Chains A and B, each alone.
Chain A
Amino acid sequence: MSTSLRNNQAVLLAGSAAILLLAGTALAFYWVPNAPLEGFRQRIFYYHVPIALTSYACFGWAAWKALRLLWTREQRYDLESYTAVHMGVIFGILTLVTGSIWARTSWGHWWVWGSRQLVLFLVLFLFYAAYFMLRYSVDPGPRRANLSAVYALFGVALIPVSFLAIRLAADLVHPVVFSHDVGNKLTASQFTTFLVCLAGMLTLAGTLYRNELTGKRVDARLRELREALE
C-alpha cells in the first residue's frame, strides 16, 4: 500500500475513534435516562463492558496473527501479534480499573471475587504478563516468534476455559454471585449508547495498534539503515 493511502487510512481511523468516543461519552452522560434500579453509577457500564470486549478482541487478533505466523513463517506477523497482545493488556488493565470502580459503587469495596468478569481479567492479566516475561528472556529471532505465537494461542484457549472455571469456582467458594449481565434488560437508548461506546473503543484500539505497529516498524527500518551506513 502506498504510504499516502496508509496515512489517509490512519487519519480516518483516528478521526472516527475520536468522534465515536466523544459521541458515546456524551450519550452516556447526558442522553440516556438513569437506569431505574442502579441510577447514575450505571454510567460506568458504558465504558467498562466495551473496554472488556475490546480487550478480548485484541487477544483474539493476537492469536489470529500468531496462527498466521506459524502457518506462513513470515516474521512480520510476530510484530503484529506482539503489538496486539500489548493492546489487549492495556485494555485489560483498564477493564480491571473501571471494574473495581464499578465494584466500589455497586458492592462497597474495591475488589469482589464474586464478579466473574473481573476475576477472569485478573487471570488473563497474569497470563499475558508472563507473555512479556517470555519474550524478554529469549533473543529476538524466529525461535522467539514461534514461542510467543504458541503462547498467544494458549491464551485464547484459556479465556473460555477460565470463564467456565470461575463460574464453577463461584459455586464452591461463595455461592452469592454478583453479576451484571448485559444482555436482556437494556432499553433501546441504553443499547445504542453501548454500541456507540463499543465502536469507539474498538476503533481507539485499532488506532493505537496501528500507531504502535508503525513505530516498531520504523525502529526496525532504522536499525537496518544504521547497519547499512556503518
Chain B
Amino acid sequence: MSSAEKYATAAYLVVLAVVLLYVVLYAFKLARLEREVAELAELAQRRRAA
C-alpha cells in the first residue's frame, strides 16, 4: 500500500475509532443510569413498605 493509501485508511479508521469510543462512553453512562434506576426502585419499595 502506498503511503497515500496508508494515510487515507488511517483517516477513516480514526473517524471510526472516535465513533466507537463515543459508543463505549455511552455504554458506561447507560450502566450508571441503570444502577441509579435500580436504587430508586428499591427506595420506592421501602417507602411503600413503610
Q: Taking beta carbons and an 8 Å cutoff, which residues of A are in contact with B?
A: 25, 39-41, 43-44, 47-48, 51, 90, 93-94, 97-98, 101-102, 104-105, 204, 208, 211-212, 215, 218-219, 222, 225-226, 229-230
Known contacts A204-B19, A229-B43, A229-B44, A40 near B33 by CB under 8 Å: no
Considering the complex, give the chain A residue whose CB is closest to the CB of B3: A105
Tell me if B7 and A104 are in contact (CB < 8 A): yes
Cβ of B4 within 8 Å of any chain A Cβ, yes or no, is: yes
The answer to whether A211 touches B26, judged by C-beta atoms less than 8 angstroms apart, is: yes
Please, could you name 13 A-B residue pairs with CB atoms under 8 Å apart, sorted by A?
A39-B4, A40-B2, A41-B5, A43-B12, A44-B8, A44-B12, A47-B15, A51-B15, A90-B22, A101-B14, A222-B36, A229-B43, A229-B47
Residues 1-47 of B at the A interface (beta carbon under 8 Å): 2-5, 7-8, 10-12, 14-15, 18-19, 22, 26, 29-30, 33, 36-37, 40, 43-44, 47
Which 7 A-B residue pairings sit nearest by Cβ, starting from the closest?
A41-B4, A43-B8, A44-B11, A105-B7, A40-B4, A101-B11, A229-B43
**Which residues from chain B contact A101 at a C-beta distance below 8 Å?**
7, 10-11, 14
Q: Which residues of chain A are near B2, meaning CB under 8 Å?
A: 40
- Which residue numbers of B lie inside 8 Å of A, CB to CB? 2-5, 7-8, 10-12, 14-15, 18-19, 22, 26, 29-30, 33, 36-37, 40, 43-44, 47
> In the docked arrangement, what's the CA distance between A204 and B16, Å?
12
Contact A208 B22 (CB under 8 A): yes
